[in-house]
Amino acid sequence: MAPKVFLTGTTGYIGGDSLYTISQAHPDWELSALVRSKEKAEQLTSKYPKVRVVLGDLDSADIIEEEVKKADIVYHFADCDHVAAANAIAKGVSHHTKENPVWLIHTSGTGVLTWEDQRAKTFGIERPKEYNDWDGVGEVTSLPDDAFHRDVDKIILAAGEASPESVKTAIVCPPCIYGPGRGPGNTRSIQAYTLSASVLKTKKGILVGQGKNVWHQVHIQDLSNIYLALGEAAAAGGGNATWGKEGYYFAENGPFVWGDVQRAVAKAAFEKKLIPSPEVEALSDEEVAKILPFGLYAWGTNSRCHAIRGRKLLGWNPTKPGLLELIPDIVEVEAKVLGLI
Ligand SMILES: NC(=O)c1ccc[n+]([C@@H]2O[C@H](COP(=O)([O-])OP(=O)(O)OC[C@H]3O[C@@H](n4cnc5c(N)ncnc54)[C@H](OP(=O)(O)O)[C@@H]3O)[C@@H](O)[C@H]2O)c1
């Protein structure tokens, strides 16, 4: 029997591309989606008429609880920091039983690994610490409470640990995502996109401090394949995937240095005749924060991790072009949004 799948965030970047991938692979799955307005519902159903719309937002606790109670598989894409929604989901999964289990596939983010820079307020320097989701998974699921996204990660992990026979959790933790989304709503990501927009608006290339900090990357269309693989494992009664305490999946495809991205954005913008020079100017923390307060975190921290679990257990094999290769496209997308071309 086709599984009943409840999704949040399908008009967004991650959820939209995953919806595309999941519905292409499994047109028979019974999908329902939380959507927060009639306009968004139309946006969704014009492309996906078979999806059942659930009107509500992430604070609609009763609605979320009820939908999660009815579902076999839940994909939570909408917001990895929304505590009330996570609590409502945790309440919903608690209705499931060993005979009627639920698979909960949650989205976190490797911002959770930036806690050392956040605490020390260091931006643009390189930190050597690397995490992994295989023999290092225990460290990842016990990061300090002040780490980004950690409060919601804990709620999801606790829901699985409380009832391991009826509630099977997996946390997908993407790093810096890029590339064109294929969903019905937002198709642009955040970090490299806001950087490009900032360079285009201020008309100069920027370097956050020394620009030596490292993150990892994943193309959105590769990322969606790990959500698909987890959904398929769930539909098969668990499959080869790990669920519960160790069901944590980084979804990365290699590291990059933020200074290289910052230089590539300036070069691409200059070559498109959108800024007068390809040079980057090293900015102080205060100057970066003035351009975009969230820029210090987004472009100045370290977040280093290795995705071993998805590759080993799910055969996840990312193949799309890297972030640096796609910077000219990203600059172009942002220039169009700003009406510059
Ligand atoms: N993009 C990245 O590089 C990245 C990497 C790692 C983790 N993440 C995290 O993953 C999550 C999703 O990211 P994204 O890039 O897909 O964001 P996005 O494009 O802004 O999408 C967010 C989705 O969630 C929905 N949503 C947000 N708040 C809602 C609310 N209160 N009620 C109902 N629906 C709500 C949005 O609906 P509307 O269409 O109505 O706005 C949209 O469908 C975020 O928490 C983000 O921090 C992102």
- Per-residue pLDDT at 82 exceeds 90: yes
pLDDT tens string 281-312 = 999 999 999 999 999 999 999 999 999 999 99
Give yes or no for residue 12 CB within 6 A of ligand 1.
Answer: yes
**Which residues have CB under 8 Å from 320's CB, separation 6+?**
179, 219, 221, 222, 253
Give yes or no for residue 200 CB within 6 A of ligand 1.
Answer: no
Q: Whose CA is nearest to atom 7 of ligand 1?
A: 109
Q: Are 199 and 265 spatial neighbours (Cβ–Cβ below 8 Å)? A: yes
Tokens representing 92? 């919903």
Give yes or no for residue 15 CB within 6 A of ligand 1.
Answer: yes
- Per-residue pLDDT at 1 exceeds 90: no
Domains of the chain, first to last: 4-333 (3.40.50.720)
DSSP annotation string for 6-49: EEE-TTSHHHHHHHHHHHHH-TTSEEEEEESSHHHHHHHHHH-T
Q: What are phi and psi of 219, to 5 degrees?
A: -75, 135
Q: Tell me which residue of 100, 76, 55 sits closest to 231, measured CA to CA.
A: 76
Determine how β-strand 4-8 pairs with β-strand 214-219: unpaired
- Per-residue pLDDT at 158 exceeds 90: yes
Tokens representing 296? 């210090």
Q: Can you tell me whether residue 59 is helix, strand or coil?
A: coil
Instruction: For residues 284 and 211, give the distance between their C-alpha atoms in angstroms, rounded to a whole number.
Output: 11
Q: Tell me which residue of 80, 81, 117, 138 sits closest to 298, measured CA to CA.
A: 117
Pocket test residue of 7, 13, 151, 253 for ligand 1, highest count of atoms within 8 A of CB = 13
Q: Are 219 and 179 spatial neighbours (Cβ–Cβ below 8 Å)? A: yes
**Which residues have CB under 8 Å from 322's CB, separation 6+?**
217, 219, 253, 254, 256
Q: Which atom of ligand 1 is nearest to the CA of 191?
A: 3
Mean pLDDT, rounded, for 218-245 = 98
Give yes or no for residue 186 CB within 6 A of ligand 1.
Answer: yes
Instruction: Indicate the pTM of the whole model.
Output: 0.99
Q: Whose CA is nearest to atom 20 of ligand 1?
A: 12
pLDDT tens string 11-64 = 999 999 999 999 999 999 999 999 999 999 999 999 999 999 999 999 999 999
Give yes or no for residue 109 CB within 6 A of ligand 1.
Answer: yes
Give yes or no for residue 187 CB within 6 A of ligand 1.
Answer: no
Q: Whose CA is nearest to atom 22 of ligand 1?
A: 12
185 CA to middle of ligand 1, Å? 11
9 CA to middle of ligand 1, Å? 6
Q: Whose CA is nearest to atom 14 of ligand 1?
A: 13
